[in-house]
């Protein structure tokens, strides 16, 4: 192994991490991180991955995504083709998210959500008391203004912005 090999492997790993990050934010293929199986990457089936094998696999994945988006097969992506591909990915992620939510909340297992199932959150929502207990910092059974402000701050942080601003500075 030359001294360049560890650097090349680190660079490829960083590239995979960036790709995974982009995919997790919705810029890649599928929901979240969609890494191929080890066996798929190990082209010579020797039980280890070389930088060349990883590069070839990533190029093949990129080509497959490109080919899927290139709906007219002209070897180039128009704005309309890129928009359609992005919309298809978003629709797939949304369908997966909704199916998981129904699976999690559907207490009577009818495949539908009734209002009571949504309000109780599958036994894991505000109605079960655990959330309130976590918010009630001093354990007095009530939320004071300071505890409520802490809740707003946490919600703002989760939404990526100031208190309840949903990341838009509101």
pLDDT value at position 83?
Answer: 95
The distance between the two most distant Cα atoms of the chain, rounded to a whole number of Å, is 68
The pTM assigned to this predicted structure is 0.48
Q: Find the helix or strand (DSSP H, E) in which 53 lies.
A: helix 51-69
pLDDT value at position 38?
Answer: 86
Give the 3-state secondary structure of residue 133.
Answer: helix
Give the 3-state secondary structure of residue 60.
Answer: helix
Tell me how crowded residue 104 is: count the other CB atoms within 10 A of its CB: 14
Tokens found for residue 137: 């910092």
Rounded Cα gap, residues 149 and 1, in angstroms: 57
Tell me how crowded residue 113 is: count the other CB atoms within 10 A of its CB: 17
Across the chain, which has 170 residues, the per-10-residue mean pLDDT values are: 58 54 44 70 88 87 92 95 94 94 91 86 60 81 86 77 47
Burial of residue 160 (CB within 10 Å: 0-12, 13-18, 19+) is exposed
pLDDT value at position 7?
Answer: 58
**C-alpha angle with apex 159: 119 to 16, nearest 5 degrees?**
115
pLDDT value at position 122?
Answer: 61
Handedness of CA 50, 51, 56, 57 (dihedral sign): positive
pLDDT value at position 112?
Answer: 92
pLDDT value at position 137?
Answer: 83
């Amino acid at each position: 192994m030359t001294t360049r090999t560890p650097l090349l492997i680190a660079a490829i790993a960083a590239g995979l991490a960036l790709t995974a990050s982009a995919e997790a934010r919705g810029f890649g293929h599928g929901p979240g991180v969609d890494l191929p199986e080890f066996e798929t990457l190990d082209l010579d089936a020797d039980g280890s991955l070389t930088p060349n094998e990883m590069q070839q696999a990533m190029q093949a994945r990129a080509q497959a995504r490109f080919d899927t988006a290139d709906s007219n097969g002209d070897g180039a992506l128009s704005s309309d083709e890129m928009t359609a591909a992005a919309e298809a990915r978003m629709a797939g992620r949304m369908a997966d998210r909704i199916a998981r939510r129904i699976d999690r909340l559907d207490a009577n297992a009818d495949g539908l959500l009734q209002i009571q199932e949504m309000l109780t959150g599958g036994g894991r929502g505000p109605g079960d008391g655990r959330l309130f207990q976590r918010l009630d910092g001093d354990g007095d059974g009530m939320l004071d203004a300071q505890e409520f402000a802490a809740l707003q701050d946490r919600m703002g942080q989760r939404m990526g912005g100031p208190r309840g601003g949903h990341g838009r500075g509101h």
